[in-house]
Amino acid sequence: MAKKIYLASPFFDEEQIDRVSRAESALAKNETASSVFSPRENQHEEFEMFSHEWRIATYNGDVDAINDADIMVAVIDYVGQEVDPGTAWEFGYAVANNIPVIVVKEKEGAVNLMMGIPLTAYLTSVDDLATYDFDAVTEIPFTGEIF
């Protein structure tokens, strides 16, 4: 049975927007993904961005979508060794709620301990999201350098 996916990813610059867009496209091709919630595509345009109403709607909408998801895909390409705090929070929330997390990290380098240990599968290309079997949820441990 196809799974509901929550896509956690930063989207603050052109490189990040390109990466999350490619992830959204790859997930749309995956027959084991029934739906994908991407915060980038759910910005509550009915409210002025960063207004109190927008903040509440965005936070509640994202939390509800994580709670409704079967699996999280988290893009964790760092700037140096600093991960996007929103993505890190979403990752931790999913882990705390026993939602499997599939990590995608296209940039080479170490992974933070608090993400490298609890992840379910580690992928090095967003293209792999088009064929990953979200029904089987095959474990692919991270075996590289941890910081």
Burial 80-110 (b: 16+ CB within 10 A, else e): eeebbebbbebbebbbeeebbbbbbbbeeee
- 115 confidence band (pLDDT: 50, 70, 90): very high
Residue 86: predicted pLDDT: 94
Q: Is residue 38 pLDDT above 90, yes or no?
A: yes
E-strand ranges in 10-112 read 33-37, 71-75, 101-104
Residue 83: predicted pLDDT: 86
Output the six-digit token pair for 116. Answer: 């490298």
- H/E stretch holding 131 reads none
Residue 26: predicted pLDDT: 98
Q: What is the mean pLDDT of the chain?
A: 95
- 112 confidence band (pLDDT: 50, 70, 90): very high
Burial 48-76 (b: 16+ CB within 10 A, else e): eeeeeebeebbeeebeebbeebbbbbbbb
Tell me what the mean pLDDT of segment 64-77 comes to: 97
Between CA 146 and CA 99 the distance in angstroms is 22
Q: Is residue 120 pLDDT above 90, yes or no?
A: yes
Residue 47: predicted pLDDT: 92
